[in-house]
Amino acid sequence: MCVQVTSALKLCKAFIPGMAKSHYGRVLFMLTDYLLDMPPRNTAAYIMAKSAVQGLMKSLAADYAPHGVTVNGVAPSMMQTKFLADTSPLIVEAAAAAHPMKRNARVEDVIPAMEFLLSEEAGFITGVTLPVTGGLHI
């Protein structure tokens, strides 16, 4: 909760008021596709924290839309990052095997979605969680 939620709150308090004052801003949260369907077992703390961040995202989107600030999130499926170093290779391999594309997401799969939501072109999109899952949640 401290890393996911408290840090998000502190950063938002520090930056969003200035964005609102200038009538422009983009905020983007990293969520998880576990919020889209039934999460895996034994992930309660992770899901609770990510759900709190998603709730913050939606609330901020509603509060700051009139001020030209958009607030969105991306929800990638299991992604090949250093975060997986502490995850059993069997779990990582099983996730890739069960995926429609037969692999886990890579950072370069997620970055274009993030860039779009942070762009000028996404100025009329706020309060959404964009799944970046390669068809996992069709």
User: Looking at the annotation, which residues are catalytic?
Assistant: 46
Residue 52's contacts (CB-CB under 8 Å, 6 or more residues apart) are 1, 4, 5
User: Are 21 and 64 within 8 A, CB to CB?
Assistant: no
Residue 48: count other Cβ atoms within 10 Å of its Cβ.
Answer: 13
What's the Cα-to-Cα distance from 94 to each of 97, 110, 112, rounded to whole Å?
Answer: 5, 21, 26
Give the chain's radius of gyration (CA, Å): 16
